[in-house]
Amino acid sequence: MTEQYAHITGWGMSVPERILTNDDLAKMVDTNDEWIRDRTGIQERHIAADNETTASLASEAALNALRMAKVPPSEIDLIIVSTSSPEHLFPSTASLVQDRIGAEFAGAFDLSAACTGFIFALNMASQSIRSGSVKNALVIGSETLSRMVDWTDRNTCILFGDGAGAFVLQAHEEPGGVLSSIMRSDGSGGDLLSVPAGGSAAPTTNQTILEGQHYIQMNGREVFRFATRVMANASKEAISKANLEVEDINIIIPHQANLRIIEAAARGLKLPMDKFAVNVNKYGNTSTASIPLATVEAVEEGRLKRGDKVVFVGFGAGLTWGALTVQWTGPFSTEEPFKLARYQRTARLRSFWRRIQRFFAGIFFGRGRSG
């Protein structure tokens, strides 16, 4: 088999319509627009409506990416949804997305690496393509962290926003696409950023809820120190693994947590800020969705073009961090876009039909009996 490379050929995003400004937050907790802008660079963030969830945002972003790549959902072999705010503990959000978009031949699973998740998921999808086992993959970062934030805690509630972004990755024998990657974890810092309750260590009880242990808890200063330490180093490592120099890189797309963290990375890499994609001002920290959201906007602004070398770099809870060097590709197909609405209708019908089949199978073969 000829060597296969993993090219990024489609990208899409989805953010809720509702916007929460710093002034809105100042009416909820003891904070103000000036403090939030100075310390974080954030001006506003998008917050999911009641009928929007991690899976609904992920599905919309995925369909936009598929439309861009002109790849119908039925040709996707693998779906990875990276998220820290999954629809449920199980089933995976990825399975729900698979059903919604009608990717009937795809295996789907969630990946949990907090804000670094999109980097880890891109690497996993890319390795699956490089090994020859997968031809077309969908990688999605999606979050509704607003559902896990304590809206009375000014240390955390000012930071986070909701949204989703997705990439389509495709195999091709032409060299390019994902050139290198690094993935790192340090669980000794797990307590610095966590949702303490709701898992097997502390199942949800009235007490855990009363104590607010189902909300995001964060040691902001320590996370800040960790982030400023790893961002530049991870980028340098990924660049040198791709046999490139920092000067060869056209644009760096970092995780959007705090403008000051991105400025520290720029100093560490000795690069001007205009080499970095920044949109934390508009979306806040959307965790694993932030890198694809910034990428979609960088392409739309003409800052990322075919053939460009780009570094994606992120950090997050775990602790985790990682970086990827990519030669940007863009859509392979010159064919007319497929009829997305038709695919969606068929997906809904298929899903409904499978539920009906299971219902009647239950009646005929005995509901509630397993053998």
Tell me which residues are annotated as active site: 115, 255, 285
Q: Is 135 one of the binding residues for ligand ACO (CB under 6 A)?
A: no
Choices 10-18, 87-95, 150-158, 241-249 (CB under 6 A): range interacting with ligand ACO: 150-158
Helices (H), 323-365: 340-365
- DSSP state, residue 80: E
We find the least distance from the C-beta atom of residue 117 to ligand ACO, in angstroms, to be 9
We find the least distance from the C-beta atom of residue 91 to ligand ACO, in angstroms, to be 23
Distance CA 182, CA 200 (A): 30
Q: Is 196 helix (H, G, I), strand (E, B) or coil?
A: coil
ω into 319 cis (within 30 of 0): yes
Q: Is 316 helix (H, G, I), strand (E, B) or coil?
A: strand
Q: Which of 12, 40, 8 is nearest to 142 (CA)?
A: 12
Choices 62-70, 130-138, 213-221, 265-273 (CB under 6 A): range interacting with ligand ACO: 213-221
We find the least distance from the C-beta atom of residue 205 to ligand ACO, in angstroms, to be 25
* Comparison of 63 and 291: residue with beta carbon closer to ligand ACO: 291
Q: Which of 26, 39, 17, 86 is nearest to 280 (CA)?
A: 39
Choices 134-142, 154-162, 206-214, 304-312 (CB under 6 A): range interacting with ligand ACO: 154-162
Distance CA 140, CA 80 (A): 6
Distance CA 296, CA 275 (A): 16
Q: Is 327 one of the binding residues for ligand ACO (CB under 6 A)?
A: no
We find the least distance from the C-beta atom of residue 362 to ligand ACO, in angstroms, to be 41
**Angle (deg, nearest 10), helices 259-269 and 33-40:** 20
We find the least distance from the C-beta atom of residue 278 to ligand ACO, in angstroms, to be 14
Q: Which of residues 4-43 bind ligand ACO (CB under 6 A)?
A: 31, 35, 39-40
Distance CA 342, CA 12 (A): 19
* Comparison of 128 and 258: residue with beta carbon closer to ligand ACO: 258
Q: Which of residues 216-235 bind ligand ACO (CB under 6 A)?
A: 218, 220-221, 223-224, 227
Burial label for 296, CB within 10 Å (0-12, 13-18, 19+), is buried
Question: Which listed residue (193, 238, 239, 326) binds ligand ACO by CB under 6 A?
Answer: 193
We find the least distance from the C-beta atom of residue 259 to ligand ACO, in angstroms, to be 9
Q: Is 291 helix (H, G, I), strand (E, B) or coil?
A: helix
Neighbouring residues of 328: CB distance < 8 A, sequence distance ≥ 6: 8, 304, 305, 306, 307, 308, 309, 310
Question: Which listed residue (139, 158, 265, 293) binds ligand ACO by CB under 6 A?
Answer: 158
Question: Which listed residue (6, 13, 62, 114) binds ligand ACO by CB under 6 A?
Answer: 114
Q: How many chain residues bind ligand ACO (CB under 6 A)?
A: 22
Using alpha carbons only, how large is the chain's radius of gyration in Å?
A: 21
Binding mask 42-71 for ligand ACO (x = CB under 6 A): ------------------------------
Task: Give CA separation, 359 vs 162, 308, 346, 353, in Å.
Answer: 35, 52, 20, 10
Q: Is 91 one of the binding residues for ligand ACO (CB under 6 A)?
A: no
Q: Which residues bind ligand ACO (CB under 6 A)?
A: 31, 35, 39-40, 114-115, 154-155, 158, 193, 218, 220-221, 223-224, 227, 257-258, 285, 287, 316-317
